[in-house]
Structure 1
């Protein structure tokens, strides 16, 4: 019986080794970030979008309205937002008039960007793909630069 399990385990190891996806290119996050950043800069220039800042962590953002500046959401806050997500070609891929969710449960670009405004604030986020869905984008194209308009209706810091 032990021999059967050892042979079965060896078979699984060999099967896993043989199904390795050697034909796929390696994902280079730094090169992808550089490519995405160049696309964002070109998009901003082509659309005359000004007053965009580049966060040291790597996202681009434009504050439309700071909102209540007495307090802001932290990275673990539970937020209620209205938002619209588009691609660079202006294709809308998602939106909501009222989404309630933890900022630790969303893409990293939101976790970094939403705390830059207070309650009642509005921000445009221009996100390199590594701050969105990266190569595992699901229903949108892999490595897509994402643009979000987010209005922060309310939040509770945790």
Structure 2
């Protein structure tokens, strides 16, 4: 073998072994469906399970046309973890609907302008392994209280 082939083999082995290391984020996920159900029981709340795995409570359905995927939505929202720790409290924030997490797309589509919904988002439909801010650990189940203020098609 040439010196270059040996160095390439060593580099490949090193890089491959680094990519295979387990991190805290690679640990098996808990049964989030059970976590959400237990959380709802603990706060004595009822919610409907969407086929996606998002649970939701429609507080006020609102009125008017449904949001479409190319819309810009303006919302008021609060975000928290299942342990009750709040990480967001935002008013009149505009988002391109295509750029919001899947859990939001599923939940917001269930209300109309002026509507309010509480959604319980499994990590797979939220941020997953991504840590968007220090207050939101990887693989977190999220709770959002969202009011759809308006949207533009």
TM-score above 0.5: yes
Counterpart for residue 151 of structure 1: 147
Q: Does structure 2 retain, via aligned residues, the 8 Å contact 1:76–1:104?
A: yes
Map Cα deviations across residues 101-152 of structure 1 (whole Å, 9 max, x no partner).
1111111100111011000000000011111111222421111110000000
Q: Does structure 2 retain, via aligned residues, the 8 Å contact 1:75–1:115?
A: no
Measured in 2, the distance between the counterparts of 1:23 and 1:40 equals 26
2:114 to 110, 120, 130: 120
Aligned pairs for 1:1-150 within 5 A = 10=8, 14=12, 15-24=14-23, 27=26, 32=29, 35-50=31-46, 52-68=47-63, 70-138=64-132, 139=134, 140-150=136-146
The alignment covers a number of residue pairs equal to 146
Q: What SS does structure 1 have at the residue aligned with 2:57?
A: strand
Q: Return the offset for 1:11.
A: 7.8
Unaligned runs of 5+ in 1: 1-5
Q: Return the offset for 1:62.
A: 0.5
Q: What SS does structure 2 have at the residue aligned with 1:56?
A: coil
- Aligned-residue CA RMSD in angstroms? 2.5
